[in-house]
Structure 1
């Protein structure tokens, strides 16, 4: 319970105006045994399950669908002509369409696994890393295509402008939430592709036994 005595939550204000990240401090927090998740000693397993579910959720972060991006390119100018007539724009749209399709079917596979009672695996990292990068690219594209309308906030703020502007300010945070791109690439390389792990001087040493500057 986040309202338990000793739990302090400090929201971190973001450039978008929201506060989707928090600093959480635990001071002598006691949790009743009837609120324990998993068996005694299974804390790491519970934490990993939570992280995988978070990555699935973050990977499904809301944003413009493909038709909205396509329509944006069809009705806005870029370099003096409709954006859709620009070859580089059409190339981006084709790439995003493939990404949307891949994410959709990967999501179906993850949902099917959950329906069978399976724990989300490292594949969730693929969904999250692709989705985060895609959202940031699309937000940047939307701001470029809308030109001044994308950076000036009028009194009557249109929903389309809001979607791309908020994405421009907030999409970078999606690439941090649930694990940074670098962490996810390590997970994919080691647990999905079976590549060797990074060299670690503290491998096999319990966390509380790792030397620090105070020891």
Structure 2
């Protein structure tokens, strides 16, 4: 009839456990080259045959999920784009996803700057240490670059254009930066870095939580390696 029957699975689906609808790219023709034969749909996540299994992360959160599809029926009216043109549709969704991640991703720079202003080490205020100041200056430049790169994306959208590779740049810079800042803050804390209780830990344990959550940002929406390929091409 007018339905498609979907079988398969997908891992690392953010927010699937509380989402009402999902985007699904499927292989509808296995006999053509990789980027062809794909078709995109939107579906009701409560549809029969959809099973969501949350994945518990190191930071105690459950933001990602594995989703299984067993004989899930999707009406053709829920197809996005033409049959076999799912790759083109997915480029639009991926670029918008990378823009939303790269433009809004917390880098940790305001937090580390405030932390270094307040922290007193064995050698005096951390902010007076030339090595600390050098790190902060480097991150300040990156934070500024991220801000203006996101402005480029917003300008393109305002002109009706599709978000481009600048969003991959933003995400590629912001993810590792968040991880580096969290690791540096933990180094500054020294032995006190083992405390995770917000009542006991320096800065309320925010950098410990940041360090445990930061690797996910280098995977979500495309890994560092994939993004480098996209930017180069």
Matches within 5 A, 1:147-166: 147-154=190-197, 156=199, 160-166=203-209
**Structure 2 spans left out of the alignment, 5+ residues:** 1-43
Shift of 1:64: 3.1
**Structure 1 spans left out of the alignment, 5+ residues:** 191-215
Give the structure 1 partner of residue 218 of structure 2: 175
1:107 pairs with one of 146, 150, 167: 150
Distance change (3 Å), C-alpha of 1:123 and 1:152: same
Distance change (3 Å), C-alpha of 1:158 and 1:114: farther
Give the distance between the partners of 2:66 and 2:128, measured in 1 at CA.
Answer: 46
Aligned to 2:52, the other structure's residue is in SS state strand
Shift of 1:29: 1.8
1:40-92 superposed Cα distances (whole Å, 9 cap, x missing partner): 222111222222122122222235343x3222112213453322122221111
Shift of 1:33: 2.1
Q: TM-score, normalised on structure 2? A: 0.74
Higher strand content, 1 or 2? 2
Alpha-carbon RMSD? 2.0
1:63–1:163 contact (8 Å) kept in structure 2: no
Give the structure 1 partner of residue 45 of structure 2: 2
Of structures 1 and 2, the one scoring higher in RCO (CA 8 A, sep 6+) is 1
Give the distance between the partners of 2:69 and 2:81, measured in 1 at CA.
Answer: 20
Shift of 1:133: 0.9
Work out whether 1:35 is the aligned partner of 2:74. Answer: no
* Count of residue correspondences: 189
Matches within 5 A, 1:24-173: 24-59=67-102, 60-66=104-110, 68-78=111-121, 80-154=123-197, 156=199, 160-173=203-216
1:52–1:124 contact (8 Å) kept in structure 2: yes
